[in-house]
């Protein structure tokens, strides 16, 4: 056997794959991995079919179909008052994860330090390590998972190259507030620190709250890669189409990596989404759509022994189970799937050290009948 030195020696199979596979094996209700069990819009599917019939089946431009980049630019200006040049500052990607990987590997060099907040989506740290960077993690705690900016300041030094933010946040369902933006601006002022802002759940924000995109704030936008996705809002996670926005000098570096990673992204779907975005209701109505599901799921869990934690955005709900058992979350989630027939994600999987606060993550992007069945089982636990 030829010896190979692993770049990710500690990495195993992602928890999402493991739990979904176990749910399928045992016939459990899958509230673990973040995908809906209902179809995407028939109108959008028809637009994809029409794009194929109209001959949009060859390579798209490396940076993406211009019509889609133009619609993204228009949407961003409408929502956040920021103008991004579709020619030089927007690139279409094969989903949000590819955009995140590309941004990190484009600018992070060996020994550069990157600050992340845990629990963190599991693709951040591996990409940093592959680029030779150093992960500097700050652990957040339930129930509010607020960032302690005084602790962030202590992590900053002359090797700090990037801060990664995620709002609405996966897995905690929290959001950034105006006070967070104020603290962030103060920290990066006069510093050569970049920001990678994971905003794939930007339209899934509840109770009338504001999404504090980095695009809203010129002093932050000028140093930020902003990543978004169409899979989550348009109920089509398998299409893997997202995008990145950044100032031209950053996007130039981004595209240097992007062109050798995927080169270009699914053409007919890009053409279809560009047309679909022309109707603003397709994204402006998403918050109420998902908030209804959130409220329905939370109301059902009121009769359970789970402690329901706050949910301000995303389509995830965290619950604490300390009233039920003292088991580790990784053990309890296996018993839950075997005995109750409901799959969840243990939040310790989002911490590098496996920190266990006895919290689980459920996905509520499901049909009402699916949520009914899941709640019926969970209230018996």
pLDDT of residue 249: 98
- In sequence order, what E strands does the chain have? 29-30, 90-93, 113-118, 134-139, 160-166, 194-198, 224-229, 242-245, 307-308, 316-320, 342-343, 345-346, 359-363
Hey, what domains does the chain have and what are their CATH numbers?
Answer: 15-40+284-378 (3.90.1150.10), 59-279 (3.40.640.10)
Per-residue pLDDT reduced to its tens digit, 325-340: 999 999 999 999 999 9
Q: Is 116 in a helix, a strand, or coil?
A: strand
| pLDDT tens per residue, range 110-139 | 999 999 999 999 999 999 999 999 999 999
Region 302-308: mean pLDDT is: 97
Query: Which stretches of 193-328 are DSSP H helices?
Result: 218-221, 248-261, 267-276, 281-284, 286-301
pLDDT value for 124:
98
DSSP character at residue 119 = S
- Residues 255-291 have pLDDT tens digits of 999 999 999 999 999 999 999 999 999 999 999 999 9
- Asked if pLDDT for residue 242 goes beyond 90, the answer is yes
Q: What mean pLDDT comes out for the span 148-157?
A: 97
In 3D space, the residue among 334, 338, 361, 336 whose CA is nearest the CA of residue 350 turns out to be 361
10 has a pLDDT exceeding 90: no
At residue 114, the pLDDT reads 98
For the chain, the first-to-last Cα distance in angstroms comes to 48
- Let me know: does 181 contact 145? Beta carbons within 8 Å: no
Per-residue pLDDT tens over the stretch 23-40:
899 999 999 999 999 999
Confidence band for 18, pLDDT divided at 50, 70 and 90: confident
How many Cβ atoms are within 10 Å of 354's Cβ, its own excluded?
Answer: 12
- Say whether pLDDT at 15 is over 90: no
pLDDT at 206 over 90: yes
Q: Which residues pair with 334 in a beta bridge?
A: none
Per the model's pLDDT, the better-predicted residue between 249 and 12 turns out to be 249
Residue with the two structure tokens 């992340």: 116
Q: Does residue 73 register a pLDDT over 90?
A: yes
pLDDT at 162: 98
The per-residue pLDDT for range 185-199, each reduced to its tens digit, is: 999 999 999 999 999
- What pLDDT shows up at residue 66? 98
Report pLDDT digits (tens) over 334-360: 999 999 999 999 999 999 999 999 999
CA angle in degrees (0–180, nearest 5) for 174-178-184: 90
Sheet holding 160-166, edge to edge: 90-93, 242-245, 224-229, 194-198, 160-166, 113-118, 134-139
Q: Are 344 and 31 in contact (CB under 8 A)?
A: yes
3-class DSSP string for 65-114:
CHHHHHHHHHHHHHHHCCCCCCCCCEEEECCHHHHHHHHHHHHCCCCCEE
User: For the chain, what is the mean pLDDT?
Assistant: 97
- pLDDT value of position 13: 84
Cα 280 from chain centroid?
A: 22
pLDDT bin (cut points 50, 70, 90) of residue 12 is confident
CB 221 within 8 A of CB 84: no
Task: Give CA–CA dist 140/4, Å, rounded.
Answer: 35
Residue-level pLDDT at 11: 85
Share of the chain above pLDDT 90, in %: 95
pLDDT at 16: 85
- Asked if the model's pLDDT at residue 202 lies above 90, the reply is yes
Amino acid 50: pLDDT: 98
Give the helix ranges, DSSP H, for 159-247: 178-188, 218-221
Residue 218 has pLDDT above 90, yes or no: yes
């Amino acid at each position: 056997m030829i010896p190979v030195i692993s770049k990710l020696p500690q990495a195993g199979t992602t928890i999402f794959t493991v739990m979904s596979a176990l749910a399928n094996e045992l016939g459990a209700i899958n509230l673990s991995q973040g995908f809906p069990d209902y179809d995407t819009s028939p109108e959008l599917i028809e637009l994809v079919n029409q794009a194929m019939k109209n001959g949009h089946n060859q390579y798209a431009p490396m940076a993406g179909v211009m019509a889609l980049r133009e619609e993204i630019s228009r949407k961003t200006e409408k929502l956040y008052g920021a103008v991004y040049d579709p020619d030089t500052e927007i690139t279409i990607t094969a989903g949000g994860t590819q955009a995140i990987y590309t941004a990190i590997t484009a600018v992070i060099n060996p020994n550069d330090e990157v600050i992340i907040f845990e629990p963190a989506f599991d693709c951040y740290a591996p990409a940093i390590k592959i680029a030779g960077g150093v992960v500097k993690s700050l652990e957040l705690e339930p129930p509010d998972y607020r960032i302690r900016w005084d602790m962030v300041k202590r992590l900053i030094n002359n090797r700090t190259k990037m801060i990664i933010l995620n709002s609405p946040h996966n897995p905690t369902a929290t959001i950034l507030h105006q006070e967070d933006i104020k603290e962030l601006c103060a920290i990066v002022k006069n510093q050569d620190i970049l920001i990678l802002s994971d905003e794939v759940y930007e339209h899934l924000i509840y109770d009338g709250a504001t999404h504090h995109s980095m695009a809203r704030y010129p002093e932050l936008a000028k140093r930020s890669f902003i990543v978004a996705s169409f899979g989550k809002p348009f109920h089509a996670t398998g299409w893997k189409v997202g995008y990145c926005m950044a100032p031209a000098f950053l996007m130039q570096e981004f595209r240097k990596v992007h062109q050798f990673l995927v080169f270009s992204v699914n053409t007919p779907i890009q053409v279809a989404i560009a047309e679909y975005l022309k109707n603003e209701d397709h994204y402006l109505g998403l918050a109420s759509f998902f908030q209804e599901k959130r409220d329905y799921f939370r109301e059902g869990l009121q009769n359970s022994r789970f402690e329901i934690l706050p949910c301000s955005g995303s389509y995830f709900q965290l619950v604490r189970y300390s009233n039920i058992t003292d088991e580790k979350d990784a053990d309890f989630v296996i018993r839950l799937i075997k005995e109750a027939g409901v799959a969840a994600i243990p939040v310790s999987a989002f911490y590098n050290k496996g920190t266990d606060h006895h919290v689980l993550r459920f996905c509520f992007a499901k049909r009402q009948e699916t949520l009914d069945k899941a709640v019926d089982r969970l209230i018996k636990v």
